[in-house]
Structure 1
Amino acid sequence: MRRLVVVSLLGIAAAFASPQQTFGQGAGDFLPVGEMAPDIQVTGATRHGVLSESVSLSDLRGETVVLAFFFKARTGG
């Protein structure tokens, strides 16, 4: 019975807890739709491994760009 009460209280606390942002920046930092993204330079990776040269967003101007983030990729986690 005590276990049920503890689990219930934890569930209620979780339901009313305010969500916290854990990754990224504040909501005010999003770009408006249609606005050009700032130039960034990153080390790219493919299914075959990490690219030897970094990739700049300005190098891909005029092309479709999809950014995919896999936080636990290549970490064994």
Structure 2
Amino acid sequence: MRRLLAVAVGIGVMGTVASSALAQLTPTKPTPLPIASGPQVGMAAPDFSLRGATRYGRLKNPVRLSDYRGSTVVLAFFYQARTKG
């Protein structure tokens, strides 16, 4: 009787360990992050100006986004380009 009880308890413990290990191995769906507020697709970008540069040096006048209205604009930022750093 004691032997049967010990076997039953052992099987129960092994089953619990196996099911918890299996639960850790099963992939879970990631929780979606909240969508940040900001410009939506199709909305006009806010106008801004930056100091422009070409391969020959900095431009005299700032470049404004509104100067390129109706055109495709690609912004490229280069960390420490054309600096002593």
The TM-score with structure 2 as length reference comes to: 0.51
Q: Distance in 1 between matches of 2:37 and 2:56?
A: 33
Q: Is 1:64 the counterpart of 2:81 in the alignment?
A: no
CA gap 1:28/1:63 in 2 versus in 1, 3 angstroms: same
SS of equivalent to 2:52: strand
Which of the pair has more CA radius of gyration?
2
Percent of counterpart pairs with the same letter?
Answer: 55
Q: Is 1:47 the counterpart of 2:55 in the alignment?
A: yes
Structure having the larger proportion of residues in helix: 2
The TM-score with structure 1 as length reference comes to: 0.55
Structure 2 unaligned runs (5+)?
1-34
Q: CA deviation at 1:64?
A: 1.3
Computed over aligned residues only, the root mean square deviation of the Cα atoms, in angstroms, reads 2.0
State how many pairs are aligned: 51
Q: CA deviation at 1:29?
A: 5.5
Q: CA deviation at 1:54?
A: 0.8
